[in-house]
Structure formats: C-alpha cells, structure tokens
Amino acid sequence: MTSAALQILADGHLIVDSQHPQAIATVQSLQPFSIVEAYVGRYVRCRLHRTALWAAAGRGISATQIIDTLTAASGAVALDAKVHRTIVTLMHRWGQVTLTGSTTALFLHIHEPTLIPRFQHDPTFAAFFDIPTDDGWQINPLLRGALKQAFWRKGWPVDDQATLLDGTAFDCPWRNTIALRPYQQAAVAACIAHSHGVVALPPGSGKTYIGVAVLAHIQRATLIITTSRAAAQQWRASVLAATTCAPDDVAIYRGTAATLAPITITTYQQLIARATIGAIADWGLILYDEVHTLPAPVFRSTAMLNSRRRYGLSATLIREDGRIGDVFSLIGPLRYSMPWRQLEQQGFIAVARCIEVRVALTPAERASYLGALSRQHGSLAAHAVAKYAVVQRIRQRHAGEPLLVIGHYLAQLHTLADLTGWPLVTGASSNDERAYWFGAFRNGQIDCLILSRVGNQALDLPSASVLVQISGSFGSRQEEAQRMGRVLRPKATNTALFYTIVSAQTREVDDAWQRQRFLMAQGYTYQVISEDEL
C-alpha cells in the first residue's frame, strides 16, 4: 500500500485505506462512478461499474475528469493501461446510441457507423428494428422501454432524447410558505433539466418535497407510485401542505376510476394488480418513490410508460437482485445525489452513531445452531434469547428518548412485545391501528414502538432518536440503510443512535458485515461491543 489513500488494481478494483486521513473524502469522490463492494480488514474495496460510469457521463462528467480524480487520489500514480482503456471505452459508449423523435415516430440512431451491422445481426434486437434509416432504425414507440433494457444488457446505454407526451395540464402551484433547502433546490433543477432520471438522498432529507416541487413546476396530471398505503397518505399530506391543490384534486387510488384525480397516488402493489392504471389517464408526470425497491413485475408496466416524463427518488440506489440496470434503463440515470455525511455536517440530517452489540447464545441455543442445516442458521442466530435483555438495557440507557425496535421475524417481535408491553405494528395491523400508534408516537403519548418490516421505508416518525435492530434480512444493504434512516430526521439534539444486535460466532456476524457496506461507504463506522459493555 502506498502513502496515498487509494490504490488502483489492474483489474479495475479501487482499494481505499480506511485509516488514511483522506479515506472518507476519497470514497465519496469515487461514488459518482463506482460501487462499494466490500470491506476487507481496514480496506474499502470499490469497483468501476458501467452503470455508475454512464450515470456520470449523463451528468456531464468526462472520462478525463474521472481519470484525474483517480490519479490524484492514488498519489499521481499513472493508471494501468487496461483500467484507463476501460474507463475511456465505457464513457465513450454514452451518446453512441440515442433515441429521438416523438411518441408516434421514434428513431434509434447509431452514431458510430461500424456498430450498425453489429446490432443489425444480433438476434436480441430483431424484434425491435422496424424500418431502416440512414443511421439506424425507426422503432415502435410501444417498445421504447424494452429496447433500452435490451441495449443495457448488451453493454450499451441508450440516451433517450425523444419527446414525451405532455399529459393533461393541471394548475398546482407551490406555496411560498415552504422554503426548499439548497440541495433540494439543486435536485429539483437537475430533474427539470431532463425528462427522466433519479435523485438519491438519505432518508430524512426531504425527498418527498423534492418530488412535490417537481410536480408544482411541471403542472401536469401526475401519478405517484410508492411502497405502501401509509406512504401514500404521507405523500398526499405533503402535496396538500406544499401546494395550493384542493383536497379533491389529490387522491389515493383504490382500484376504481372514481378514485382517480389530477394527482393520483398509488402503490407498487396496486400497479402490479392493475397494470392499466398507467394508461387510463393522460399522465404528464410519473414519480417513483423509493425507486430502488421497484418490484420486478413493475418493470414491464414501467417500460410501457417510457413516453411519460418520470423521476425516481431513492435513499439507497442499490439492489441485491442485480437489476439496478433496469432502473437505469427505464427510469433514467442518476441526476443528483449528495453524500450522507455532507448533509449531516450541514445539519440537515441528524448526526448518527452506529453500534453493533454482540450477544452470546445459550448452551442449548449453541447446540441447536451447530446441529442445524446451514439454511436454518440465520433464523436460529436471530432468535437468541439474550437479545431481549439487551433491548431492555438499551431502553434503560436511553430512558425517555423516543425509541423504535425493528426486526425481521414476527415471532420474535411478538415475544418482545409481550415482555415489555410496548405496542407492536406489523403488516397484519389495520390502517386505523397503524395510524393510532404512529400518531401516539409522534405526539409523545408513547416513547417505545416495535415495528416489523413495515417500518423499513417511508415511515414519518421524526422524533425517533434511538433505533434498535433486533434482526434483519440477512445481507441486505438496502434494509440496513433504510432502517437507520428512521432516526435521521433533524431534531432538537440532532443526534441519533442506531443499535444492531448480533449473535456472536454465528452467520449473523457475516450478515451484519454485508448489511453495513452501504452505510460504511457513506462514511459511517460501527462500534462493536459485547452485551456486557452496555
């Protein structure tokens, strides 16, 4: 390892020394065009990734700028020729394949003539190429999204410059009483400068208001798609608070034409069940909330909506299923992001501290664990009885502070609720029950609340300052980050604590490490302690 923060390997991996004074700044400088893969000892391992490189190109970042960034961070060491060539080649592909025209006459242009025969004879594209032109083909407009997916899978990004359907005009101006923060204004500007794309900002940073501000600027009939009915209610409240829209003009879709309005909010589940919602109104704007969670069945509906102006909002633009390329192709490239720590330093999200508490299995639990099949290890480790005492010890340590407990296994959560008497909200809870307990937590009637996975996303409990994760979905980076986001809303003390309880000497230790990678890439560190150190 050199004295510089970054070492660049010949295979394109980027190794950052986490103990170097410039480690955090270096990782953040790499994020616009790479992904964090792993933490190995004291080192952060990143990888140049084509989707990230193309997103950077779409934001106006050049190959030269990326090479200069890498060279500076590595102590002016010249890049390996293969790495240099990979960057230049991939960045050069942005803009080589473009779509122009309209929603009735769509044209695919290949700007490098030697590529035309290559694509023409590839059976992957046989269903897309209709009428040949001088530099490409006329394309069936209904295949716009699917075409972009196909090109991405072949290693080529499509720069979609074709015009969009305007949609029905709708007057819904912004209220002057609500002021956007500077980064929110920048995110809105980045969106309206393009017809499609993604904004990535941490939970608690006000992404909903960014979406509403885009809506107020575009002034068109809008479809908002989010993760749950509770999230839909929060979106409706935000639209009514931030704009002059009348209540009757903002509706939550309930499966019938009667529940449509100029601004209609629905869930991904509804979109799967009733895919025609995208076609039953003349939408001029589609907003995808928590776009990183886009269910695979929604990709087909989204491909059919590529003639509409569309934006995605995300806290963690990662997918464990590897389908982030579909988000890139169908929603658009990353248009705006800001490191979590930078917003923390500016006071826009709470200062968070992460603590991993390791508990011991009882002799009986250890025997069961060692005798079980490997596929059972995750569940057995998660259910360690010692976790219940640790949760109550954390409650004592932070008495009076608004505390959330969140977990993956319902039986475990019900046991904890029985032991503590704290209310529990799960997927089986009615909407009225959820609203009651969430309201009680917000107004201070209760200061402890247990949540199942319904609390992973789009949950507005701004007062929460302590979160305890008692179990998780194995190695999900997305879930880890979203859960910490529950306590990142700015508050009076502007501090937050995120505890994750892990069974020592089990697969939970490895799962926790996998889960923590995204937050570590944002500059967070986990203090690892034993249950006796609480």
| Longest CA–CA separation in the chain, Å | 75
Amino acid at position 148, single letter: K
- Residues β-bridged to residue 318: none
> By 3-state DSSP, what share of the chain in percent is helix, strand and coil, each rounded to 5?
40, 20, 35
What confidence category does residue 41 fall into, taking pLDDT thresholds of 50, 70 and 90? low
Other CB atoms within a 10 A radius of the CB of residue 516 amount to: 22
The predicted structure's pLDDT at residue 1: 46
d(CA 75, CA 24): 16
Extract the tokens encoding 485.
């986001």
Residues in the chain: 534
- Domains, the chain, ordered by start: 6-93 (no CATH), 97-160 (no CATH), 182-337 (3.40.50.300), 344-533 (3.40.50.300)
Residue 526: HSE in the Cβ half-sphere, 13 Å Cα cutoff: 28
Summarize pLDDT for 158-209 with one digit per residue, the tens. 999 999 989 999 999 998 788 999 999 999 999 999 999 999 999 889 999 9
Q: What is the pTM (predicted TM-score) of this model?
A: 0.86
Beta-carbon contacts of 233 under 8 Å, excluding residues fewer than 6 positions away, are 252
Residues 63-81, mean pLDDT to the nearest whole number: 92
Token couple for 263: 């601004």
Of 36, 10, 32, 50, the C-alpha closest to 325 is 50
Give residue-wise pLDDT tens across range 137-160: 999 998 999 999 999 999 999 999
Alpha-carbon span 252 to 255, nearest angstrom: 9
Question: Within 10 Å of residue 60's Cβ, how many Cβ atoms?
Answer: 7
Measured in degrees and rounded to the nearest 5, phi and psi for residue 456 equal: -65, -35
Q: What's the pLDDT tens digit per position in 92-114? A: 999 999 999 988 899 999 999 99
For 75, phi and psi rounded to 5 degrees?
80, 35
Integer angstrom CA distances of residue 45 from 23, 26, 125, 317: 12, 12, 36, 18
What mean pLDDT value characterizes the chain? 90
Q: What is the pLDDT of residues 357-401, one digit of tens each?
A: 999 999 999 999 999 999 999 999 999 999 999 999 999 999 999
pLDDT in tens, 410-469: 999 999 999 999 999 998 999 899 989 999 999 999 999 999 998 887 678 889 999 999
Asked whether the beta carbons of 263 and 222 are under 8 A apart, the reply is yes
Alpha helix ranges (H) inside 219-339: 229-242, 268-273, 298-304, 324-330
424-425 sheet: strands from edge to edge:
424-425, 448-451, 403-406, 466-469, 495-503, 351-359, 526-530
Alpha helix stretches (DSSP H) within 245-322: 268-273, 298-304
* Alpha helix segments (H runs only) across 162-318: 182-192, 207-218, 229-242, 268-273, 298-304
What's the rounded Cα separation, in Å, for the pair 522 and 36? 10
Q: Is residue 28 packed enough to be buried (19+ CB in 10 Å), middle (13-18) or exposed (0-12)?
A: middle
Q: Which of 231-240, 241-250, 278-287 has the lowest mean pLDDT?
A: 278-287
Q: Are residues 147 and 306 in contact, defined by beta-carbon separation less than 8 angstroms? A: no
Q: What percent of the chain has pLDDT over 70?
A: 98
Can you say whether residue 76 is alpha, beta or left, with left for phi > 0 and alpha for psi between -120 and 50 degrees?
left
Q: What single-letter amino acid sits at 503?
A: S
Identify whether the C-beta of residue 222 lies closer than 8 Å to the C-beta of residue 248.
Answer: no
369 within 8 A of 451, measured Cβ to Cβ:
no
Q: Hey, how many other C-beta atoms are within 10 angstroms of the C-beta on 185?
A: 13
**Contacts with 247 (C-beta within 8 Å, 6 or more apart), sequence order:** 240
CA distances from 382 to 204, 385, 409, 472, 526 (A): 28, 9, 8, 8, 19
Return the bridge partners of 425, or none.
451
Unique residue bearing structure tokens 């969140």: 406
**d(Cα 105, Cα 399) in Å, to the nearest integer?**
64
DSSP string of 341-394, one letter each residue: HHHHHTTSS-EEEEEEEEEPPPHHHHHHHHHS-GGGHHHHHHT-THHHHHHHHH
Question: 213: number of CA atoms within 13 Å, CB side?
Answer: 23
Task: For 77-91, give the DSSP string.
Answer: PPPPHHHHHHHHHHH
